Amino acid sequence: MPINRFLERNYMNMKTILLASVAAFTLSATAYAADPETYQTNTKIDKDSNGNYAEKDVTTKTDSAGTTTTFEKKASVDVDAKGNTDKSTTTKKVTDPAGLHNKQTVTTSNTEKVKDGVVKTSQEIKVDGKTVESKTETTPQQ
């Protein structure tokens, strides 16, 4: 077999292998690109001259497997004419994997109320509507 024929045959095999590799890479890259993660965020803040404040943040994420996770945070501060304050924060995380009846919700609530020099704080954590932790403390303000 002449050397030219040998090189020509090997060149054709290399070309075929190279084309097959490029095609496989292109198809696999397209498959991954078809399932992007998505995010959506919404924030609302209200304030007034008396010191009252309210904020609500909601972020929703959907991953490539179809699981939707929503984070919601609410914070508020209320001040009355005597200077007494009510502060509260609530966070809620809802995870909903693709499928039926498998949603999980975790809610955490924190409050601090100051009235006439007495501070009352509380925290409560709920998982799927059931309280897993709850505590309250009352102390004189220093």
Phi-psi domain of 24 (left: phi exceeds 0; alpha: psi -120 through 50; beta: other) = alpha
CB distance 90 to 109 below 8 Å: yes
Mean pLDDT of the region 124-133: 90
Residue 5 has pLDDT above 90, yes or no: no
Q: Round the average pLDDT of the chain to a whole number and report it.
A: 82
Beta partners for residue 9, in sequence order: none
DSSP assignment string, 73-128 = EEEEEEE-TTS-EEEEEEEEEEEE-SSSS--EEEEEEEEEEEETTEEEEEEEEEET
Report DSSP state, residue 51: S
Residue 105 has pLDDT above 80, yes or no: yes
Beta partners for residue 127, in sequence order: 106, 130
Residue 46 has pLDDT above 60, yes or no: yes
Cα distance between residue 96 and residue 99, in whole Å: 8
pLDDT at 36: 76
Structure token digits, residue 66: 């179809």
Q: For 9-23, how does the pLDDT look when each residue is reduced to its tens digit (9 = 90+)?
A: 555 566 666 666 666
Q: For 58-94, how does the pLDDT look when each residue is reduced to its tens digit (9 = 90+)?
A: 999 998 888 899 999 999 999 988 889 999 999 999 9
Structure token digits, residue 80: 């009355």
